Structure 1
């Protein structure tokens, strides 16, 4: 009986340690993203779908008709569709007097709930970054690396077509 009493405290220590480690792993695996971002994202692509079902490269479809230089007037340009690991990403940018006034993700991965969750958080953040930076030199959103890279490339192609 004496040896069983010695093993019991050791078993309790091992079980308590295992429970603590399991609890920490579960706690650290929680995702901080919230779902209210989904409502903000759902309204963002709506204006872009009014032009046509295909997100073609019709840069002047939403512009005010100015055919002057890139620095004057309002122009809406659609960037190249960039194929990422999880699907294509395409961005439409509106320039007014040479400044970026609006950036809209026309196409981005949203095939499954995980893609929707990630991009509901990432796309608005990338849009804010682009409007703040006034260029395609924006930070990658953690957890949405492929979408961020595609967004940046598509935005750069749209800006390149505006300059040339």
Structure 2
């Protein structure tokens, strides 16, 4: 059963708070706590002020804030604040993934599995799910296991 993308977005942020110690690799080069700017962007998103959220997330994402990168990726994937843009979603998921953010890595796996902005590539999807799982993302682990059991290469 697929969890809605909005739920996944919000779950990603909840997991950040719940798994504070497990995200140490994610925040190596940034503050351990969410900055006020990130909180404002998340609040704008939560209030469905998508254009404002994009304005707030963008400079933070460009400064390598993994939470802002993930937020932008989700919004571009879902067309929140503008048209669906899989290329930008991939760009920001990849940047967040480079900080070992497992939820973003799992989302990359979904993009490859579903052919969103890229050709369907189950081997690449499986790779991203495996990396995501190794970074303690439960959804990545579930997706990796599902592909392991059902897909013949």
TM-score with structure 2 setting the length: 0.29
| Structure with more strand by fraction | 1
Which gives a bigger RCO, structure 1 or 2 (Cα 8 Å, sep 6+)? 1
Q: Which has the larger radius of gyration?
A: 1
| Structure with more helix by fraction | 2
